[in-house]
């Protein structure tokens, strides 16, 4: 009965997912078709030759259908942008290494670590996001900037922030691998070399912090293992004895608070 019920549940879940995907696809198509039809104009001088499509709204800004399309596109690439161009990678790696140092491979779960990393990244990068919204997003919505101009202006605050935490060695490595000349100033560093250099620097910093976190817990494991060996209890896994002591030490020193504070201070606090 349990197996048959599991098969029925999986079929019902698969059917629900297919219906949901179909509804979302239909909504997107209807939105694009409605927006295009609303902005389609027939030239008054020649009513029979064709139809022109205007992607701008009545006030000179982008039409609603174009904003919807850009929003859907941004959602599709948002995970990559979040991982590569923010502090998310470093924070998540440090938290995951802390969990492994405590010998708790599934506690807290990945969803909790990812959620905490996300909100800490928003907290750190909030001034950068606010500046991008002020200088690029709002002028583009108002129609005072084109899409290309908004991209050029909007990437400058993010580029400056990433350069602050990118090592020159990593940036030089990516520049040499791309067979490009050395940039004259920081503003001339292309994004396709800055992004991987920034990620390498973030991973290096995350592993340094993780190593410092591992050391005290490794000492506890060694002490417990030596004590068990001296008592002849070689069949008892040392992690079963050391785990409560590691958790107790982590609680007494306010471990999560120290780690979060170290991560925030590594970015200079906010921004």
With pLDDT > 90 as the criterion, what percentage of the chain qualifies? 2
pLDDT attached to residue 7: 44
Report field, pTM of the whole predicted structure over 0.85 = no
Q: Which two tokens stand for residue 198?
A: 């920034």
Among 61-70, 128-137, 175-184, the range scoring the smallest mean pLDDT is: 61-70
pLDDT attached to residue 43: 47
pLDDT at 193 over 60: yes
pLDDT attached to residue 144: 78
Q: What is the number of other CB atoms lying within 10 angstroms of the CB of residue 1?
A: 5
pLDDT at 150 over 70: yes
Q: What DSSP state is assigned to residue 40?
A: E
Mean predicted confidence (pLDDT) in 197-201: 88
Q: How far is CA 175 from the centre of its chain?
A: 24
pLDDT attached to residue 194: 83
Mean pLDDT for the chain overall: 74
pLDDT at 261 over 50: yes
pLDDT attached to residue 245: 83
Instruction: Provide the pairing of β-strand 52-53 with 40-41.
Output: antiparallel
Q: Report pLDDT digits (tens) over 209-259.
A: 889 888 888 888 888 878 777 777 777 777 777 788 888 888 888 888 888
Distance CA 129, CA 83 (A): 15
pLDDT attached to residue 38: 44
pLDDT at 167 over 80: yes
Contact 234, 228 (CB under 8 A): yes
pLDDT attached to residue 176: 82
Q: Report pLDDT digits (tens) over 14-56.
A: 655 555 545 455 444 444 444 444 444 444 444 445 545 455 5
pLDDT attached to residue 63: 58
Q: What is the number of other CB atoms lying within 10 angstroms of the CB of residue 24?
A: 11
pLDDT attached to residue 181: 77
């Amino acid at each position: 009965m349990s197996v048959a019920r599991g098969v029925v549940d999986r079929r019902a879940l698969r059917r629900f997912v297919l219906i949901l995907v179909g509804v979302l696809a239909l909504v997107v198509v209807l939105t694009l078709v409605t927006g295009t039809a609303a902005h389609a104009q027939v030239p008054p001088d020649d009513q029979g030759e064709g139809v022109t499509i205007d992607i701008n709204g009545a006030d000179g800004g982008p039409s609603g259908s174009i904003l919807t399309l850009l929003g859907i596109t941004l959602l599709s690439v948002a995970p990559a942008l979040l991982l590569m161009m923010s502090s998310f990678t470093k924070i998540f790696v440090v938290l995951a290494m802390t969990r492994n140092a405590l010998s708790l491979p599934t506690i807290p779960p990945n969803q909790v670590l990812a959620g905490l990393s996300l909100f800490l990244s928003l907290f750190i990068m909030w001034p950068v996001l606010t500046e991008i919204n002020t200088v690029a997003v709002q002028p583009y919505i108002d129609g005072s900037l084109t899409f290309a101009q908004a991209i050029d202006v909007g990437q400058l605050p993010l580029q400056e922030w990433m350069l602050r935490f990118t090592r020159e060695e990593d940036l030089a490595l990516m520049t040499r691998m791309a067979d490009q000349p050395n940039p004259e100033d920081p503003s001339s560093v292309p994004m396709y070399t800055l992004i991987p250099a920034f990620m390498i620097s973030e991973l290096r910093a995350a592993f340094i912090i993780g190593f410092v976190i591992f050391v005290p817990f490794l000492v506890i494991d060694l002490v417990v293992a030596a004590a068990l060996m001296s008592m002849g209890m070689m069949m008892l896994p040392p992690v079963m004895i050391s785990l409560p002591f590691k958790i107790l030490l982590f609680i007494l020193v306010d471990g999560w608070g120290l780690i979060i504070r170290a991560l925030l201070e590594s970015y200079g606090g906010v921004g």
